Structure 1
Amino acid sequence: MHIELTPAPVPNAPVLLLIAGLGGMGSYWLPQRATLSEHYQLVIYDQRGTGENKEPLPNDYCLADMAQEIHTAMLHQGITHYSVLGHALGGLVALQLALDYPAAIDKLAIINGWLQLNAHTRRCFAVRETLLRDSGPAAYLQAQPLFLYPADWMAANQPRLEAEEAMHNAHFQGTENLTRRLNALKAADFHATAAHIHQPVLVICSRDDLLVPWNCSEELHNALPDSLLEIMPWGGHACNVTAASDFNQRLLRLLATEPAYHKEIV
């Protein structure tokens, strides 16, 4: 698996692994790169089946596979200890990494994540799957921003949305790979295992997220032994993109929090 390592800002700088959501592309983290790379050595990658790591995925592909692939790639780079920032599906992979490789994981930061797929989120994905199946990838990608961004942000950023749509069409991961990755996402359930995750976890969400209701993050926070819930008032599902400056400030402050997080809502 091809991964990218940014230069360490100082000798022995902490390592932060960035895991995107269902789109799978490391380019998702562009709004965070400059800020985070001043403090961390970043590991950024396209998930297996997407982008530079595009290949056919097996029918039984699951979260444990996603976690094993990136952890093995980290070991190949000589990285044995790191923190993880994950968005949605990427946050689920982060939880799986903490369960499967606990000695390697320092902290987790999970954006708009969940314990188990919410009924509303399941309906949203069903609509998107119908578009993909009946109308094709172009229609699926045209509708995608509706689930990611607030309406006012979309209205003010039409040229950017058109450029993103063209880029996603050019680099589409393929219907079969997307379906298999989505099936892995839908099958994830951390109700029985969240209590075994003992690393500090920052759970961050946006109150106006259309795809994943904010209370899913609250439920995840309540199930984790050592977590902090941060609720942003605006930003949609991709709040780290639409409200990048606010998000980055909150993230850096909370990643630096010592000792371990306390159970509270900020």
Structure 2
Amino acid sequence: MHLDILGLQNADAPTLVLSSGLGGVASFWQPQLAALAAHYRVVVYDQRGTGRSAEPLPAEYDMTMMAGELAEALAQRGIMRFGVIGHALGGLVGLQLAHDYPERVTRVAVINGWLRLHPHTRRCFQVRQDLLLNSGVEAFVRAQPLFLYPAEWMAQHSQRLAEEERLHIAHFQGRDNLLRRLNALMRADFTSLAARISQPVLAICSQDDLLVPWSCNAGLASALPNAQTISMAWGGHAMSVTDAEGFNSLLLQWLNQTEAAPQRAAS
């Protein structure tokens, strides 16, 4: 698995692992890197089966495997204590890590995540799956921004979206890999696990998210013993991109508030 370690380089620096959504690649976090790297050792990675970590995924791929392979890759680099900032799928990976490796995970921020899949989100995923299977990669990639960004933002950034479309088509993770990762995401259910995740969790959402209803954020937080919720009024599913300044400010505030908790847990 390809990892990049940015920001503070001393081994005892507080470490944050940034985990992307279904796209899986580290470049999603570009709008956050400067803000976070000034204060933390920051790890970004291309998830298995995507980007620079491209390889065929097993048919039985699931969330536990996603978390386990990341934990192993971090251990190989000597990173044994870390927080996780995860977007959608990446946030669920963070929750799975917090459950499976409680001695290693200090805190988790889940961006537009959920406790279990909402029927509306399932419908959206099924539409995207149908596009891939029946219309091909180009149609799948072309439709992707509709689920990520507000309409006005897309209209103002049409050239950027066209460039991203060309890049995503050229470096597409492959139909089988995407479907296996998507199926793992759709099967994930933290209903029976959430009460055992005791680390501080930030559940942050955008109220105009087309893919994940904002009510999922409250449902997730209410099931966790130590969660805080934040709701942004605007930004879509990828508000960390569309309103990076506002998102980064809220994230850093929460990180500052929870900085003492991981230190006590480690002593």
Question: If the length of structure 1 is used for normalisation, what is the TM-score?
Answer: 0.96
Partner of 1:69: 69
Partner of 1:192: 192
Deviation at 1:7, TM superposition (A): 3.8
Q: Structure 2: how far apart are the matches of 1:65 and 1:169?
A: 26
Partner of 1:130: 130
CA contact (8 A) 2:5 2:41 kept: yes
Q: Structure 2: how far apart are the matches of 1:171 and 1:35?
A: 27
CA contact (8 A) 1:86 1:92 kept: yes
CA contact (8 A) 1:85 1:91 kept: yes
Partner of 1:222: 222
Partner of 1:170: 170
Partner of 2:244: 244
Partner of 2:149: 149
CA contact (8 A) 1:202 1:255 kept: no
Is 1:58 the equivalent of 2:58? yes
Deviation at 1:95, TM superposition (A): 0.4
What is the root-mean-square deviation in Å for CA atoms of aligned residues? 1.1
CA contact (8 A) 1:9 1:39 kept: no
Q: Structure 2: how far apart are the matches of 1:21 and 1:173?
A: 13
Q: Structure 2: how far apart are the matches of 1:78 and 1:11?
A: 8
| 1:1-266 correspondence to structure 2 within 5 Å | 1-8=1-8, 12-258=12-258
Equivalent AA in structure 2 for residue 50 of structure 1:
T
> Tell me, which stretches of 5 or more residues in structure 2 are unaligned?
262-267
Equivalent AA in structure 1 for residue 154 of structure 2:
M
Where has structure 1 moved over 4 Å in runs of 4 or more?
none
Q: Structure 1: how far apart are the matches of 2:166 and 2:40?
A: 31
Q: Structure 2: how far apart are the matches of 1:142 and 1:108?
A: 31
Distance change >3 Å, CA 61–CA 225, structure 1 → 2: same
Partner of 1:264: none
What SS does the aligned partner of 2:184 have? helix
Question: If the length of structure 2 is used for normalisation, what is the TM-score?
Answer: 0.96
What SS does the aligned partner of 2:103 have? helix
CA contact (8 A) 2:86 2:92 kept: yes
State the Cα deviation string for residues 5-56 of structure 1 (Å, max 9, x = none): 1141667320000000000010000000111100111110000000000000
